[in-house]
Amino acid sequence: MFAALLVAFGLNAGASATLLIEEPYWKLGFFTATGHSAVYLSGVCAQTPLILRRCAPGESGVVLSRYDGVAGYDWIAIPLVPYFYAVERPEDVPLFGDAKIVAFLRDRYRRKYLKDIVPDSPNGETPGGNWYELVGSSYDRTTYGFEIETSPEQDEALILKFNSSPNRSHFHLLTRNCADFAKEVINLYQSKALHRSYVADVGISTPKQMAKRLVQFSASHPELRLSRFIIPQVPGDIARSKAVHGVVESFLKSKKYIVPSGVASPIFAGCVAVVYFGSGRGRIDPGYEAMILAPGNEPERPLSQEQRRDYRKALNHLLADASLERSDENGYEAWKHLQSKAEDGLDRRGRPVLEMNIGPQVVKIGASATNVLTTDAPPQFIRALLTARLQSELQRSSLGKVSGRQIGRDLQLLQRAMEEDKTLETSLASWPPIPAIRVSRF
């Protein structure tokens, strides 16, 4: 059932519509925790970002969403891999994301495919605005997917409607937001499947309510074969996204709102609690029984707490050797410092690299899993990068959002990087084996 999403990173097969709900982040996560909503269609592709067509064999579909303040358009279609990672091939996703490399990849994609919609600023530089939400979503936040089966005839009907209707923005936070758009798209496939809640969300459409309704609708329509997945936030020093909530839930679970309200009016605060708990029937956990979907990998169950501890021990064993520099033991901070001084670029195959000045010499460090071991960068730099990624993946906040296959691949990359460092050659024999690692297809 995951074929449509798997092939989004490879070959196309079947047709599906997937409701995407994305966690809130940065300022959006501070003021409201409702997040963002979009729809992925595996059988619909983009002739241009504003014109839809049926996918050809091997194509992976598009993500459609409503945006505010992007060239006056109501919706824009972005291919799946660029939407999440701002690159065109899964193997080019950087191992560790920071603001600089994400901005570089986003702007590169904009200049190549979106310049008619988002042109350069008058001085030729990258423009400001909300266009960055079009590509690279997974650097900012974790996404949950709820996939149902569709038919080619339903795809054709949607393409005809979207291509023949005006694409002009009338965005309104309360009445025509991103969740309203997702509701309209899903309801084109399954009439009246989704609707807003006048109790839990005071009549405002929210991503979490749309997911709840789709799960309930699919329970009474098993032929839709609902499946769930998680696309985790890319490891890095960008702040981790927050849990997604509904309107009343967001108010109740936020101390900055509920505490002052409780002091000013205990009756009002009590009413909010009654509404929240009274509307709890069918409350949804977006990550419940969801599989981890990472670029280039098959879906996999998230790591358990025990597995996370085992992999953490394996990492600590690799870093515990006395011959390793202290910076390796604190790879996360060490790599953040190194990456902040690097310039972003591409190698001859179009894969991301980081360029650093070491005296008069410019050193290139491969930034993706496929080129991290192919450059002549100093071994300690490669170790710092891989250690930073692993430490980010294995932190407590990542539990439930990472798979064993990802960790296994990264631990093996780190071990290979150490094996290729001649200064560590004498100590390799004492290293313990890495437990339960399964090799990924990178």
pLDDT digits (tens, 9 = 90+) for 394-408: 988 888 889 888 899
Q: Give 266's contacts (C-beta < 8 A, 6+ positions apart).
A: none
Q: Which amino acid is at 96?
A: F
Q: Is the pLDDT at 21 greater than 90, yes or no? A: yes
Higher pLDDT, 69 or 110: 110
- Chain centre distance of CA 20: 10
Residue 326 pLDDT grade (very low, low, confident, very high; cuts 50, 70, 90): very low
- Tokens in use for 338? 């190194």
The letter for the amino acid at 185 is V
Q: What is the average pLDDT across 254-273?
A: 49
How far is it, in rounded angstroms, from Cα 105 to Cα 83?
A: 11
pLDDT tens string 113-149:
999 999 999 998 999 988 999 999 999 999 999 999 9
Q: Which residues contact 57 (CB under 8 A, 6 or more apart)?
A: 11, 12
Q: For 232-243, what is the mean pLDDT?
A: 92
pLDDT number for residue 438: 38
What pLDDT score was predicted for residue 38? Answer: 97
Q: Determine what percent of the chain is predicted with pLDDT higher than 70.
A: 79
341 CB contacts (<8 Å, ≥6 apart)?
356
Q: What letter does residue 302 receive in the DSSP assignment?
A: B
Whole-number pLDDT of residue 429:
40
Inter-residue contact 157 to 54 (CB < 8 Å): no
Distance CA 141, CA 1 (A): 24
Report the alpha-carbon distance of residue 38 to residue 18 in Å, rounded: 8
Q: What whole-number distance in Å separates Cα of residue 325 and Cα of residue 382?
A: 13
Q: What integer pLDDT is reported at residue 358 of this predicted model?
A: 79
Rounded to an integer, the average pLDDT of 319-338 is 65
pLDDT attached to residue 322: 36
Whole-number pLDDT of residue 276 = 47
3-state secondary structure of 133: helix
Arithmetic mean of pLDDT, 164-192? 92
- Model-wide pTM > 0.95: no
Cα 171 from Cα 285, distance rounded (Å): 28
Q: How confident is the model at residue 201 (pLDDT cuts 50, 70, 90)?
A: low
DSSP string, 335-356: HHHHHHT-EEEE-TTS-EEEEE
Confidence of residue 316 (pLDDT cuts 50, 70, 90): confident
pLDDT higher than 90, residue 419:
no
Q: Which has the minimum average pLDDT: 38-47, 219-228, 239-248?
A: 239-248
Mean pLDDT of the chain: 82
The string of pLDDT tens digits covering residues 83-104 is 999 999 999 999 999 999 999 9
